[in-house]
Amino acid sequence: MIENRPFLKILAHLVLILGVATVAFPIWIAFVAATHDEDRMSQIPLPLLPGSHFWENLDIALNQGLWGGDGTGVAFMLMNSMIMALMIAFGKITISLMSAFAIVYFKFPFRMGFFWLIFITLMLPVEVRILPTFEVVANLGMLNTYWGLTIPLIASATATFMFRQVFLTIPDELLEAARIDGAGPLRFFKDILIPMSQTNIAALFVILFIYGWNQYLWPLLVTTDQDMYTIVVQIKSMLESAEQAPEWNLIMMTTLLAMLPPVVVVIFMQRLFVKGLTETEK
Amino acid sequence: MASVALENIQKTYPNGFKAIHGVDVDIQDGEFLVLVGPSGCGKSTLLRMIAGLEPVTEGVMGIGGRKVNKLEPSERDIAMVFQNYALYPHMTVYNNMAYGLKIKGLPKSEIEERVKNAASILELTDEQLTRKPRELSGGQRQRVAMGRAIVRKPSVFLFDEPLSNLDAKLRVQMRMEIKRLQDDLGITSIYVTHDQVEAMTLGHRLMVLNNGEVEQLGTPLELYEHPASLFVAGFIGSPAMNMITSKISSDGKTIHIADDIELALENGGSADHTNRDVILGVRPEHLELASGSDDALPMTVTVVEHLGAETLVHGHFGNDMTDLTIRKSGILQVKAGDILPTKIRQDHIHLFDPTTEKRINL
């Protein structure tokens, strides 16, 4: 900074604080709502300070569920979401690593054609091809299974493209040195390419985990059995209890629970994430 | 240890570009051959063909009496040092050197012994072996790259401009180390460079390449004293050889240089070459200051460069504006505009045909 006037400094901080508040306020409201009981949440005005029912709400949300509880709660849905997000993240990374490897390092007929075929799937997200995809999944008998939840979401043009760019920055001499050392294609892939793309894999993992965790439309379609619900689907269905007023304290508690895993992933992988997106030294 | 034999080696790229037009050479066991030439002359391509990184379009490539045209690089019993070192950035120095041996499936103890041995030859400490390549200086990385080649105990070393990423001082030092290493290990080596000083100091023999063709193959001094073509004459030696467009007289005994300057040819010239245009080449050190003034050639000085150990005087003869260089050891006090009496050492002139650019032997 060349300018050093206190007024500008204060203004800058004000803008920043305003931004933080805008982002944080809804989360604060969710937290506050999760700490009150049902009665308080049905009165107006809504509370702005935390109440004393946090642990109670947590217990109900996790273990009993809504309306006196069917005894199931949302704990298993957290597990479903976790399994789905992990399968999507690992599946996408594995597939795109391999397809990028094939496209960058092997010469085969219509190589660029295949690359563009993969690339144009960017224009066909699940939402666009939802009917045929549902048909295929249903015919394969994968409704209400983890495979049905994840496989249609795994193919990823973005990740393939990203790994392609990463591999293109790796100097050809490394491949040649490896060839002279006697490493075949798979060894080169395992011993050199994957370790060298580690930070990119980590960055991608964070993005894809959150992408998988936040899936709503697809799980809503392929899961009819409550055992296979993901937590994001559950939040929505909690709002749709036709006869009763929504139990905001429990809904917000569930929302908090649903936010937690992505936050944990981001916090723990933050360093790798930043490195993976910014580091260029090879 | 092995000899390397190239027989009519050619390279044509799929787009039709012909990079190498038939190279024949027998490299003896233990020999140090330097491939030298300007960038784009095909020297690196040739080296990569020997390594097996580039397919051979035509010809027979033999290493140690074995035809290797179709063999993978790892099966050719060679090791290569790359210009940018090509060290695996995520592996420690030790693992960089050991990687090829691990793939070969050598026992751990043997690998350790070979790496330690190479490290001691190259004066890499145990502490440095545990570091990553990026934590090393350029010179140290260069040593690791050579270590990776040494541990393989190859029959042939291939060097692809290994010193061009180093600073000048380190380059001189590493040049000597490579020379010493090659002498000690006695491994056949092929070395690519565009630096003629490196080529002259390192090679037992030099192969000068230009546009994919071999201009000349010979020992450094052969190339220096008897360049086979204008290209070699201009490429080897620094500062470059003086080239003067001249004409041999009709009796073939003298050569007309500029204005009214005539130079008698050694041994009275030759009856085969009379009345023709030639290019006269004289190395800067063979253009000398004349003591007497009778037969001196007057050179007009344009620029004087004082290098301390020697002085380079640039100038031209009379109205002929061809730039000439005199190299005189020690310090010479002259300035631009002076006219120096010079003489050409007749026993050290080179004549070239202006059209074929080949050497004319009298």
How far does chain A reach from its first CA to its final CA, in angstroms? 31
Res B148: pLDDT? 92
Query: Which among B88, B97, B165 is the top mutation candidate for probing chain A, defined by the most A β-carbons within 10 Å of its own β-carbon?
Result: B88
- Residues A168-180 have pLDDT tens digits of 988 888 999 999 9
With DSSP H G I counted as helix, E B as strand and the rest as coil, what are the percentages for chain B, rounded to 5? 30, 35, 35
Q: Does A3 touch chain B (CB under 8 A)?
A: no
* A51 lies in the same domain as A92: no
Sheet holding B32-36, edge to edge: B78-81, B156-160, B188-193, B32-36, B205-210, B213-218
* CB within 8 Å: B80 and A176: yes
For position A187, which CATH number holds?
Answer: 1.10.3720.10
Give the range of the structural domain holding residue A209, as residue numbers without chain letter: 75-278
State which H helix or E strand residue B325 sits in. Answer: strand B324-329
pLDDT, residue A242, reads 55
Which of B78, B86, B91 lies nearest to residue A173, judging by beta carbons?
B86
pLDDT value at residue A69: 46
Q: Residues of B with CB below 8 A from A173's CB? A: 82-84, 86
One-letter amino acid for residue B116 of the chain:
K
| Domain coordinates in residue numbering, chain B | 4-235, 242-360
Closest residue in B to A171 (Cα) is B86
For chain A, percent of residues with pLDDT exceeding 90: 24
Domain co-membership, A92 together with A179? yes
Q: Give the rounded percent of residues in chain A with a pLDDT score beyond 70.
A: 93
Contact A195 B79 (CB under 8 A): no
ipTM entry? 0.82
CA distance B319 to B306: 25
Which one of 3.40.50.2300, 3.40.50.300, 2.40.50.140, 3.30.200.20 gives the CATH number of domain B242-360? 2.40.50.140
Contact of A196 with chain B, judged by CB distance below 8 Å, is answered with yes
Indicate yes or no: CB of A281 within 8 angstroms of CB of B134: yes
d(CA B257, CA B318): 10
Residues of B in contact with A191 (CB under 8 A): 99
Q: Is the pLDDT of residue A67 over 80?
A: no
Residues of chain B with pLDDT under 50: none
pLDDT band at A2 (very low <50, low <70, confident <90, very high): low
CATH superfamily, region B4-235: P-loop containing nucleotide triphosphate hydrolases (3.40.50.300)
Q: Are B128 and B93 in contact (CB under 8 A)?
A: yes
- Residue at A240 is within a domain: yes
Confidence band for A68, pLDDT divided at 50, 70 and 90: very low
Q: Where is average pLDDT lowest: A87-101, A104-118, A224-238, B273-287?
A: A224-238
Same-domain pairing of A256 and A169: yes
Residue at A70 is within a domain = no
Instruction: Judge whether residue A281 has pLDDT over 60.
Output: no
At A1 the pLDDT is 53
What is the count of structural domains for chain A? Answer: 2
